[in-house]
Amino acid sequence: MVFIETPGAITRSAGWLILIFWTMLGIGCSTIAPTPTLIPTARPTRPATLAPTTTPSPSPTPTSPCALAPLPDRTPIVRPTFTPLPAQPSVLPGRSQWIDTKFKSALLDRAMPMLVYLPPGYFDSTRRYPTLYMLGGFAGDYREWTYWGICEALERLTRRGKIQPMIVVLPEGDHSWWFNHAPPPVSDGKPWGDYIWREVVGYVDVNYRTLPRRASRAIGGLSAGGQAALMLALTHPQVFSIVGAHSPSIRGADGSVAAFGDPEYFKQYDPVWLIEHTQAWRQLTVWIDIGRDDTQWGEAIVKFHQRMDALGVPHEFNDAWRGIHDDAYWSAHLPDYLTWYASKLAGEK
């Protein structure tokens, strides 16, 4: 069969071809969104954590054993200024320490504070030491001797080999005079004397390396504490063999202190009566001193000394040092006191 294309057919065919061509061209020229190339989001660089450079802490400088924290419930007492002595080489090294401690007194039914001085070398050995008990004045607390420089004197004398090492105990007395009070209704009947010779001494002997024998125990005190030391030593020579009374207040049962009761009650503790009527002094080594300008108790102390002389009671007596009844006097003579105690106490052989 023969197809004959007429001019109209050709025209129609050409139109279709043109339409197809432009359609294809349109398709080929359409804008196709390209697939986006993902660029990784840059994470912020976290700086590396560096371990801090540790600077070695310097070895702590040992603080002086004499540096005590103030008591929050006590009125601060102004301490005397101590003149530094020229540095001298230490003969006795090792750590020393003041221990501010408490124990429960069964006799008084209360916790009682005390200071305990452990001498240089205490922590470096198993050695045992003689013990000195020091009582403060009526108005003082258990730290009173530290206010007048006992620690500085102990450190200086012990470390330089001037005195033997010894344990020193400062017990609380709470204005008691450290003897057993007259019973009610006259007074409260509290056994302050028994508390010292039985409980304080017992506590110290159990908890520290003492030499638990009378030859290695001394007791001393200032003012009211000086009288109390005499009372305790004269009533308990089986406990203490050495007693020092520094400006002791030789007070009797004159009615001014209710705890003393009447003369009949108090004579069992009165140093004058005990010297005259007992032989307890034969077991004791006794020291008494008084400032030559002390008008408060000087006359009574001199009379007591004279009575001892008249009875043939051996004792060391000093009334030549200048001074009155105050801390400046006791502070100035602490080295004398400590040297005397240390020379009399029996140490470890």
pTM of the full predicted structure? 0.79
Closest C-alpha among 323, 129, 137, 162 to residue 229 = 137
Q: What is the pLDDT of residue 298?
A: 92
Q: What is the pLDDT of residue 132?
A: 98
The answer, yes or no, to whether residue 21 has pLDDT greater than 60, is no
Rounded distance between C-alpha atoms, residue 321 and residue 291, angstroms: 5
Over residues 287-299, mean pLDDT: 96
- Output the 3-class SS for 12-54: HHHHHHHHHHHHHHHHHHCCCCCCCCCCCCCCCCCCCCCCCCC
| Confidence class for position 69, pLDDT limits 50, 70, 90 | low
Q: What is the pLDDT of residue 81?
A: 52
Task: Collect all residues with Cβ–Cβ distance below 8 Å to 144 and sequence separation of at least 6.
Answer: 77, 136, 137, 170, 222
Q: What is the pLDDT of residue 51?
A: 35
pLDDT tens readout for residues 179-222: 999 999 999 999 999 999 999 999 999 999 999 999 999 999 99
pLDDT tens readout for residues 75-119: 444 454 544 445 556 688 899 999 999 999 999 999 999 999 999
Rounded distance between C-alpha atoms, residue 271 and residue 221, angstroms: 14
The answer, yes or no, to whether residue 65 has pLDDT greater than 70, is yes
**Cβ atoms within 10 A of the Cβ of 23, count?**
10
Q: What is the pLDDT of residue 92?
A: 85
The answer, yes or no, to whether residue 44 has pLDDT greater than 50, is no
Q: What is the pLDDT of residue 54?
A: 35
pLDDT tens readout for residues 311-348: 999 999 999 999 999 999 999 999 999 999 999 999 99
Q: What is the pLDDT of residue 91?
A: 80
Rounded distance between C-alpha atoms, residue 239 and residue 232, angstroms: 9
Q: What is the pLDDT of residue 198?
A: 98
| Confidence class for position 64, pLDDT limits 50, 70, 90 | low
**Percent of the chain whose predicted confidence (pLDDT) is above 70:** 75
Q: Is residue 319 within 8 Å of residue 292, measured between CB atoms? A: yes
Q: Is residue 109 within 8 Å of residue 102, measured between CB atoms? A: no
**Residue 156 dihedral angles phi and psi, to the nearest 5°:** -65, -50
What does pLDDT average to over the chain?
83
The answer, yes or no, to whether residue 157 has pLDDT greater than 50, is yes
* Domain ranges across the chain: 97-344
Q: What is the pLDDT of residue 349?
A: 82
Q: What is the pLDDT of residue 89?
A: 60
Q: What is the pLDDT of residue 66?
A: 86
Largest CA distance in the chain: 180
Q: Which CATH architecture has domain 97-344?
A: 3-Layer(aba) Sandwich (3.40)
Q: What is the pLDDT of residue 326?
A: 94
